[in-house]
Structure 1
Amino acid sequence: MKMLRGMVMAGVLGLLLGGAAQAEDWQLAKDENGIKVYLSSVPGSKYKAYRGVAEIKADVQAINALQEDVPGSCAWIHACAEMKLLKHEGDDVWTYSRIDMPWPVTGRDLVLHVSTEKSADGSIVRHLKAEPGYIPEAKGEIRVPRLVGEWRMTPKGQGVTEVIYQVQTEPGGSIPSWLANSFVVDAPFNTLNALRDKAEKGL
C-alpha cells in the first residue's frame, strides 16, 4: 500500500537544486566515504544538475521500506523540514515537503509526483516530477516550480544495492550562488549517506 512514498520524499530534497533530464557531461565533484557526486550544466538553466551514486549493504526491499515511511524519511533527507503524503493511487504518490534554507533565504516547498517501476530483476526506479499547482501555495514559502529526477535502486548481489539519485530543478525565486553551489553537492551526498546509515543499521 505504501509503495514509493518515502523515496518520493527523498526525491524532494534532492530536488531543490539539481538537474538530470537534460544534463550532459557529468563531472565528478565529490568522492568521499563511498559516495560519488557528479554535477552537470543544464542547457537554459543557471543551476547545475546533480547525480549521487552509492552502494548500500542492504537489499532493495530494506531500502524501499525506509523510503515508504514518508514522515520518517525526513530524518535522512538533507535540509528536510517536513514531509507528508497527499495522495496514494496505485504506483503513484503525491507528496508535500518543506525545505529549510539558511537565513535570509526564503524557505521552499515542493509538491512532488512520484511514479514507481519495479523490474523482474528486483530493481526499482522512481520517477520524480514537481506539480506546483497540485495544492494552493503556502504563505511564507516559495513553491519549487520545476523538478525532474529519479531514484534508481539496483541489486548487485550478496545483499548490496546500488543507489543512484539524480535531479534537475529550478528552485524558484532567488538563490545566492554560494548556496546553490553547495546545495547541489550536499543534498545528494548527505541524503545518500544518511539513508545508507539507516539501511545498514536496520533502523
Structure 2
Amino acid sequence: MAATKSSASRAQMVHDSLRRDILSGTLQPGSPLRLQALAAKYEVSMSVVREALTRLVEHHLVALETNRGFRVVDVSRADLLEISELLKLLAGRALEKSIRLGDLQWQGQVVSAHHVLEHTPRLDDDGTPTEEWVRAHAEFHDALGSACGSPRLLDYLRTLMSSSEFYQRLAGTPVADMAEEVIAEDRELMELATARKTREAGALLDKHIQRSMDWLLEHLFGED
C-alpha cells in the first residue's frame, strides 16, 4: 500500500510540473513529450510518467496519437471557439443552479474568493499575470458555480477553464483597458450572484466570457 501511495504521489508531482510548464508556455503547443526523457528528468519510472500524461490527456492539455505518442495539444481557432461556447453554456448553467440552490455558506465563499482575487497582486515585474492572481481568478469563477449540485458539471467546467487558461497564457497580458473591464465585471458578478439576480448574472457572465474569447481571437489568430 505504501508503494502504491508513493507511486501516486510521484505521478501527481509529474502531472503538476508538466501542467505548469504547459500553461506557462515553457512547453509549446505541439511539443513532443517523450516518456524516457521525462522519466530521466523527474527520476521516476516511465509508468509514472505515463500515468501523469494520461491525466493531462483527460484534461485536454496533452494529446496522444497513434505512432506519435504524447505531445502538448495544438491550438486552433475552431478549438478556441468550441471552448468558449461550452464555457458559456456550462458556466452559465452552473451559476444559475448555484444561485438557486446555494446557501449562505456559498454566498460567503463567493464573497471570500472575490476578496482574495481583488487583493492579490495582478502583474509580475515583467508585466505578466502572477501565478497567485491566475489561481485566485480561477478559484473565484469556480466558487460562482460551486453550489450547482453537479460534480460532473463542475469537473467538465474545470477542464474547460484549464483549456481556456492555456490559450490565455499563449496570448499574453491583456491591455490595461480590458484588464480593468474584466476586474470590474468580476466584482459585478460577485454582487449579482450573491444578490441572487439570476438573469443579470447570467447575462454578464456570458458577456465576460465572450469578451475574453474576442480578445484571444484577435491576439492569437489576428481577428478583429
Larger RCO (CA within 8 A; separation ≥ 6) = 1
Structure that is richer in helix per residue: 2
TM-score, normalised with respect to structure 1 = 0.28
TM-score, normalised with respect to structure 2 = 0.26
Structure that is richer in strand per residue: 1
